Each structure stands twice: as structure tokens, then as C-alpha cells.
Structure 1
Amino acid sequence: MRTLLLTALTVCWFLVEAKPQIKMFPNYGQVYAGDTVILKCSEIPTNKWLFRGQLLEADNQSLILPAASQHSAGDYQCVTAEKSDKFTLRVLDLLAPALLEVLSKNAVVYKNTLVPLQLYVDEGLTDWKCYIARKDTLFHVQIPEDEMTSKTSITFFVEARGENPEIVFCNHKTRGRSNSISLRSTEMEVLLEIPPRPAMLGEPLTLKCEVQGGAEIKTAVFYKDGAQIQTTSDGSYKISAVTDKDQGSYRCKATYRYTYTNPHGAFKEKVDSEPQTLNIRARPPSAVIAHDASTLECSCSAPDCPAAPRFHWYYQESGTAVPAMHTKDAPRLLYDQPGLYACQAFWDDGVSRRSQLFYAAPDSKLIIYVVLALIIAGVLCVAIAFLFLKKRREDSAGQRDVPMKSMRRKKAGEEDDEAKDDAYQSLNETDKNDYHTLQQGDGADGGYEAVGGARSGDGGDGGYEALKAKEQSDVYHSLQPTETPGADGGYEALKGTKQSDTYETLKPTAEGGGDGGVEAIKGSKASATGEESEEKGVYQKLGTDGGDGVYEELGRKRQEDNKED
């Protein structure tokens, strides 16, 4: 029983191991439309290949798909003694994030020649690597690391060794890869030039018959799938708009003479080229530009575009061959300078085709309107600033020019209309230490007295009463302590004398006993009553009168007599 079980397990293991496997070479990961794909069966001999369950006309170990498309997407199987598991090929119609091109625009080259290629990456070349696949081996293309920097393009060379096809591509470990280029070599003197990438439906195409060494072609005959289609004298075959019917195998026969050394050099007639396959693909989703007077807007043509695209803008400067990236992630662009613009939609796994170059020039009328608007706005700002400064100067000048008004008491018996306009009274502080605004006094134009102030000096600590206009105008008075009993620190107006231009100062009193007491220096006139006579202009010190810090009113003796009268 154990022997039978071991035998069954051995048979099952052998059957599993004998089952063929399919692998893709090179292993791109994501396959884009137009890529050259090679499917390899792990077992030899391979009798046949199945695609979507249908038998293909292929019996080799490798199945070459020269230009992957939605038509070639699906399940593949190889058949040896056993049928392999299904290998599903998925093809994305978008373009690869990076662009790889042959600078000569020709995929067919002479054997053992160097082929110039150029890689374009919008995000910069840092950490990008390029490879070439020959037969079953993938080789790293040697590019100096200091060349793979933040710049967006680089030119490098690969050697075509004649191991058809030789597939070149570049990739980045996180940002995807470029499209692939399939190089084909020939050792024949005449070759047929075809594009390095599949021709796109609806676009013009030219095939050229070339002779190695630059001979002058007299005539060229073109064939498609073995049938003659056209004879030309310039060695070119032109297709105005590519259709699916144009796909096939092409070759040419050239009649030519080498004239670069001798006008009568060697003449060769109807020399054949190797056949080359022209591959056709559908047009990928394409970006489209709409515009108005100052704005460009980019969109992606529906229904081919996936949802939620982002956009890049490109601007081609004068004298440059390739547009450079202008702005990222912006569906609209406000252009401020004339030139050629293009845009492109992109997604995480691929990009659209770039839009056609669009020449945009800002509307001259719009520029004029904008300039006029700016000029008007500038003039208004200057005018407003000028008026503001002028007003400020006038206000400042008004404050400086206000005349100083003297304060005087209205004379006894003086009529209201005889009161001077410049008679002002000071503010009184109330018992509650409140401060009040001025209001017009009774009967005197321009006379003001304190609102709510006490009219007598008594009854409040620190109360202030209005200074009243004195009989004599233009005499200025200071405050001195009042003699009113019971009022601490009360002050009353110093009285001016009748004599004009007589000024009195304060001096210490002659009487003792008072700290800091000061009495008026009295200027006297000769008295008719026999009172003590003093010379005019003689001043006396004020004396203390026994109270701390109490000052008495300055005044002339005669003025007191007048008051008694």
C-alpha cells in the first residue's frame, strides 16, 4: 500500500514538473500599446500556441508580438506534451510615463553600428536605468551616473548587433518606465526605413528606400506582402492617412548610382531590401487645448481617457526643438507671453498623447485695457494720498495757529454785549472731584465757565472755581492760596493792579512764624492820604502769615481802598 502511494505521488510530481510554463521577456510589468513582447515556453519542443483558445500559426519556443495592442491582449497557452496554464497579457492603451526615441527616426540600421537614442523624463533622470534585451539576456546600458541627474533628457548610444529584435527600454523603480524600441539590423546595401514605433491610425506616414553609402537613387519600387504597389523617383512611399489595411510586410527595390566620388560611378539596378513589418496601432487618448483671450484650458478627449486626469503644460521657447515643462497639475493656464504651448493628461500608470502645439498670443486689446486700468488706479491712489496729506497739513497748521486767549473777569456792571470775546473762565472741580466741560457763560460772548463748578471757594477740599475776568484786560494773573478758612489748599486768582505794565513777584514775608509764607511785593504810588509812600516800581517781598503753605492775594493797597469805597 505504501509503495502504491509513493508511486502515485511520484507520477503526480512528474506530471506537474513536465507541465510547460509561459514567461514574458523582457519582464516589463505593465505592457503599453506598441511594446514588442516575447512570450517564451519553458519546454522544448513547442508544437503550437493557443490564443484565446484558437490555434496560432507559430510552432517555435518563442512567440513574438511586434506591437502589443488590445487585439493581442488575452490568454495564451503553449502546447508540448502537455498544455501550459493560461498566461494573461494585459495591454494599457495609455502611453508610458517616459519617452524613448531613436534620433534617426528609423528602426532599421546597418549591423554593428551605433544607434543614438534619447530619453525624456519630465520629473528628471535621477535613478533611471536603461536596458537592451538580446535573445534570452537582459543587458544594462552603461550611462555615466553623473549624467542621470535632475535634467529632463539625455542622449546615449547602443550597438545594433543583428540579433533581431533587440529591445531597448528604460525604467525607474517607483515611477514606471519608458516605451520600448525594437531595433532591427541588416547587412544588405539597400534598406527600407520604417518608424521605430507603430504607426498610428489616421496619421500620415512615409516609408523610404535608402542605399548604404549615400548613393543617388534613380527609381524605387515598393512592395507590400509581395505585391508591387508603387514606383517613385525620389525613393519614398507616402501614406496620407494610415488605416488597418496598411499593416503588413514591406520591401523595396532600388536603382541607383554612386556619384559622391565620380559622376559616372557604379550603377546598380533593382537591388532588393530585406522585408520589414509595418505595425499599426490605434491612436492613444489625446489632450486637447481650448482657449480664450488670456487663458488656455487642457482636457482629455472622451471616451478614451480614464477618469480624474491631471495635466502638465509645456512651453516651447524660440530656437528650441522640444517644449519644456511649464506648469504641473493645472488644467488652466493664464499665459502672459506669446509662444507655442502644449499640454498632456497623466495618471498614476500612464499618460495621454500631448496636444498639438498651439500658438498663443495675449490679446493686445486686453493688454491695453489692463494697462489703462492700472494707470487709472495709480492716478487715483496718488490723488487720494495727496488729499490726505493736504488735509493733515491743514489740520496741523490749524492746531499751531490757535491764538492763546487770556482769561479775565467781567467787570462789575459790564453789559453782556460789552464782554470781550476772549474772556474765558477756567473749570471748577466739584466736590466729587468730577471734571466738567465748558459751557458758555451768561451774558458774555465767548465767556465760558465751568459746568457744575462751585462759584465760591468754600465747601470742598481741593475744589477749584472759575477764574473770572478782572476789570483790567490784558493783565495776566496767577493763582495763590485763598484766605477762606476751612479750605485746605484752596487757590484763588491773583489780582492785577490798576497800573498797567506793573509786574509783581513773590518774596518771603517779613513776619515770622510761618513756614514758606510769601506775600505780594507791592508796588505803590504816592498816596494823597499820607499812607506810606513808596516809589513806583519798587517791589516788596510777600511775608508769611502763619499758615503752612497759605498764600494771600497779591494786590495793590490802593486797590483795596477802592474796593472799600
Structure 2
Amino acid sequence: MKAFLSLSVLFAVIRENIGKPTVFDLRKYPLVYVGDDITLACKGAAEPITWKINAVEQSNKNSIMIVMMVTPENNGKYTCQKNGEESDPFTLTVLVLEPHAQLSLPIGGAVITKGEARILTLQVDEDLEKWKCFAFRNNVGYMLPVTKKNKNMGTVYAELQDTERATFWCMKNKTNHRSNALTLKMTERLVMLEPPVAPVWRDETITLRCAVWGGAEVIQAEFYKDNVIVNKKRVQRDKYKITNATELNNGEYKCIATYKYSHISSAAATHTHESDPQELKVIGGPPVAVLGIDNKGSLQCSCKHCESVCKTYEWYYTDNSGTRTKLQEETKHEINLIVGGSYICRAACQDGFSRFSTPHVYQRPSYGVGVAVAVVLASILMLIIILVAFKCRRSAVNGTGQR
């Protein structure tokens, strides 16, 4: 894998004290979305330097500034200064939207042991051919190959290569379209606390898992937040569940697992070890689309908290095999249900999207069964009519005889 020349050269000269200082975004994101990690570098200024955000001096004196999981609160002008000379401002603008593609981790957690790797899945709406993926390790970017599974989906082999953490994302050639970013972290311990891979949005449900390398059976796990044990009622053996997450749930979490390798031997010894601490940060995410159905059976998509630039909608259909397809012709807020399956929608905005709605599962009526039911009902109705007519006729005859 080949590092970007521009990033390598930039990193090599960061500590040089040549000319006016300049602030660069090392990750080279064309657009910054809520939840991204940002790495800024001060070129042309030897340490120690002075960083300012919106003219407020920061405690960081290094040539690198990392801003984790950005929100609009991080918006503003970033400058660095050395020997009284200050750089031009770098303006950070965070979009509270979802990016154009989804990078996900279908199997495994975001914390891995040394030498392990993960397979990431890239899902796009158009042809995958124009998309490339990247890794960001030790402040240097690397291009990664994408293995194509079908027209809209591919996989990426993600490894740390002896670094403690690395970030992965994908971009479409000659556009500002990109995917979300995923960060993998390394641990050298047998016990691992697995935090969510993606940023945690406010009001979501979070599940933290205490795992053990090698597939050991976790007999019992204790979870701690900022070194204080959490409510045991929310712990189910190796999992800790947080519902309706808020910023009050932010902090450093760890777990202590009691486990044994029972799949190797029924007489395996029991061990107890502790995980590395992992930071959990809950932030306000993009607005969520809402999917409803009217009295005519049509699906309607809306986004109450979307901005005015969100003027159209995107619809997706998932069949029984699990294949997701974008309904290219549908851009309005309403569609008619024709084919059975699962439907989701999102609002399309100028530089991104709202979050997806919850899915609506549609089961197309079986007309064969409907016809059969109609025939049975018609037969019952006919029988009732015959019986009523017979009874009326019999009553009339009896009445005539009495006279």
C-alpha cells in the first residue's frame, strides 16, 4: 500500500521552522460531518507553538491538534502561532448530516488485538468503480484496495499495522462525496471492551460488550464508568445496555470478565482479567426521517427537523434475500407500495442526508387466498338468503292454512 505523497511530504516538514505557519487538515476530508475526528497540523512552526480556536488560546503546544468526534460546537477559525507570527485561519464547518455512502463493520468489534484485522463493508448508491478507500495511521494517509461484491457494495481489509488506532473512510473520485469514517483501536489485553464503532447519537440504544480473545466463555462481567461500577440491573452476563443515551453517559468505560475456555476443555480453569478503558461520547446527530402510511396505503417520508436545503427524498427497498436497492425514480415524499419487502427513506440535502427512517415491512396481499375467501363468504351469504326465503315461504303457507 502506498502512502499519499502529499501527506508524507507534509508530515516530514511539519516541524520545520520555515516561513509563515500554516494550518492543514491532514485527513484531507472534502467535507466534515458530525462525529468525524479531525487532525490539524501546523506547518512551518517548530514546537512549542500556540494554538487558538476563535482567538482563544489552547493548552496544546504540539504541532498536531486532534479534535475528536466534532459537532457544530467545534465550528470556527483555527490558527497556530510561533515567535509572534500567526497563521491564516483554518475554518472548520461541521455538517450535521449523514455522508453519501455507508462504511460499516458487520462482524467483530472496533477493538482488536495486535495482528488482527477487520473486513469493512462499503455501501454506495451508484457504481462502486469510482470509489476508493483510505486508512489514516500515524498521521499519514494510505490508499486501500476495494473488493467489489456487486455494483453497489464492496469490502475493505482494515488493519492497524502496529499502530494503536487507525481511521478508515472512502471517497468518490473527483467529487466531495465520501463515506463516514470508522476507527479501529488496538489492545494487548485478553479482555476487550467493545464500544460502538460509529458515533453514538443522542437517544440511541448502546450495547457495550465485554469480550475475551480466542472465543472464551464469559461467565460474568462487571462494567465500570470512570472507575465506578455501573447499575448491575442493566448487565446481562457479558453485555451492558444503555437506552435513550444522553451526554450524561459520556465517560471512560471498562469491564472485568470472569471467563474460561470451555470450548477447548470442559475442565478449563477460570480466569478474571480487566480490559483497557474505552471512551464513550454521545453527541447530537443528524435529523431522522420519519416513515408513515396514509389511509390509502401509500408510504410518506418526512423530516421535521431537516433544514430548508433538504428538498427531496430517497427511497430504498430490501428484498427477502437482504439485497438493498435504491428506487432511482422516486424522489418525492410519497410512494405507492407495489412489491413486498422492507422500505426505508431519508431526506436528501445539499451536502448529505438525514438519518434513515425505521423500516416499514410490506406484505403484498395474496389474491388467490382473497378470491377463495370471497367465494366462501358469498356462499355463506347465499345460504343465509336461501334459508331466510325458505323460512318466509313456510310462514306464509302456514298462515294460509290457518285461515
Q: Same fold (TM over 0.5)?
A: yes
Tell me which amino acid in the other structure corresponds to 1:294.
G
The offset of 1:57, in angstroms, is 4.0
> Could you say which residue in structure 1 is the equivalent of 2:112?
109
Matches of 2:343 and 2:102 in 1, distance apart? 19
Does the 8 Å contact 2:309/2:350 carry over to 1?
Answer: no
2:91 aligned with 1:88, yes or no? yes
Secondary structure of 2:248's match?
helix
Does the 8 Å contact 1:128/1:148 carry over to 2?
Answer: no
The offset of 1:155, in angstroms, is 1.7
Matches of 2:230 and 2:51 in 1, distance apart? 33
Rg larger in structure? 1
Matches of 1:19 and 1:226 in 2, distance apart? 45
Unaligned ranges ≥5, structure 1: 1-15, 373-565
Matches of 1:158 and 1:364 in 2, distance apart? 46
Does the 8 Å contact 1:251/1:276 carry over to 2?
Answer: yes
Secondary structure of 1:221's match?
strand
User: CA 1:332/1:63 → structure 2, altered by over 3 Å: closer, same or farther?
Assistant: same
Spell out, residue by residue over 1:303-357, the C-alpha distance to the aligned partner (whole angstroms, 9 max, x if none).
x33335222211221231x532234323221112333211122134111111110
> Could you say which residue in structure 1 is the equivalent of 2:145?
142
Does the 8 Å contact 2:194/2:210 carry over to 1?
Answer: yes
Tell me which amino acid in the other structure corresponds to 1:133.
F
Matches of 1:360 and 1:101 in 2, distance apart? 26
> Could you say which residue in structure 2 is the equivalent of 1:167?
167
Secondary structure of 2:308's match?
coil
Spell out, residue by residue over 1:423-453, the C-alpha distance to the aligned partner (whole angstroms, 9 max, x if none).
xxxxxxxxxxxxxxxxxxxxxxxxxxxxxxx
Matches of 1:310 and 1:105 in 2, distance apart? 35
Spell out, residue by residue over 1:346-372, the C-alpha distance to the aligned partner (whole angstroms, 9 max, x if none).
13411111111012356899x989xx9
Question: 1:450-529, aligned counterparts within 5 Å?
Answer: none
Matches of 1:165 and 1:24 in 2, distance apart? 18
Matches of 2:136 and 2:244 in 1, distance apart? 33
- Specify which structure has the higher proportion of strand: 2
> Could you say which residue in structure 1 is the equivalent of 2:344?
342
2:40 aligned with 1:39, yes or no? yes
Aligned Cα RMSD in Å? Answer: 2.6
User: CA 1:189/1:364 → structure 2, altered by over 3 Å: closer, same or farther?
Assistant: closer
Tell me which amino acid in the other structure corresponds to 1:59.
K
2:64 aligned with 1:58, yes or no? no
Secondary structure of 1:116's match?
strand
Matches of 2:310 and 2:216 in 1, distance apart? 53
User: CA 1:308/1:262 → structure 2, altered by over 3 Å: closer, same or farther?
Assistant: closer
Decide which of 299, 303, 311 is 2:302's aligned counterpart: 299
> Could you say which residue in structure 1 is the equivalent of 2:26?
25
Question: 1:238-257, aligned counterparts within 5 Å?
Answer: 238-257=241-260
> Could you say which residue in structure 2 is the equivalent of 1:158?
158
Tell me which amino acid in the other structure corresponds to 1:318.
N
Matches of 1:265 and 1:355 in 2, distance apart? 47
Does the 8 Å contact 1:294/1:363 carry over to 2?
Answer: no
Secondary structure of 2:100's match?
coil
The offset of 1:230, in angstroms, is 4.2
> Could you say which residue in structure 2 is the equivalent of 1:414?
none
Does the 8 Å contact 1:189/1:212 carry over to 2?
Answer: yes
Does the 8 Å contact 1:314/1:342 carry over to 2?
Answer: yes
Matches of 2:332 and 2:57 in 1, distance apart? 49
The offset of 1:226, in angstroms, is 3.0
Unaligned ranges ≥5, structure 2: 1-16, 375-403
Does the 8 Å contact 1:221/1:230 carry over to 2?
Answer: no
Matches of 2:114 and 2:318 in 1, distance apart? 36
Does the 8 Å contact 1:52/1:75 carry over to 2?
Answer: yes
User: CA 1:341/1:148 → structure 2, altered by over 3 Å: closer, same or farther?
Assistant: closer
Structure with higher RCO (Cα < 8 A, 6+ apart): 2
The offset of 1:47, in angstroms, is 4.3
User: CA 1:226/1:41 → structure 2, altered by over 3 Å: closer, same or farther?
Assistant: farther
2:202 aligned with 1:218, yes or no? no
The offset of 1:184, in angstroms, is 1.0
User: CA 1:189/1:57 → structure 2, altered by over 3 Å: closer, same or farther?
Assistant: farther
The offset of 1:39, in angstroms, is 1.2
Secondary structure of 1:298's match?
strand
Matches of 1:68 and 1:361 in 2, distance apart? 41
The offset of 1:153, in angstroms, is 0.7
Tell me which amino acid in the other structure corresponds to 1:41.
C
State percent identity of aligned pairs: 31
Tell me which amino acid in the other structure corresponds to 2:137.
R
Does the 8 Å contact 1:126/1:148 carry over to 2?
Answer: no
The offset of 1:159, in angstroms, is 1.6
Does the 8 Å contact 1:46/1:79 carry over to 2?
Answer: no
User: CA 1:265/1:361 → structure 2, altered by over 3 Å: closer, same or farther?
Assistant: closer
Spell out, residue by residue over 1:50-90, the C-alpha distance to the aligned partner (whole angstroms, 9 max, x if none).
32333434333222222111122222233443343322111
> Could you say which residue in structure 2 is the equivalent of 1:100?
103
User: CA 1:79/1:164 → structure 2, altered by over 3 Å: closer, same or farther?
Assistant: farther
Secondary structure of 2:127's match?
coil
Matches of 2:57 and 2:269 in 1, distance apart? 50
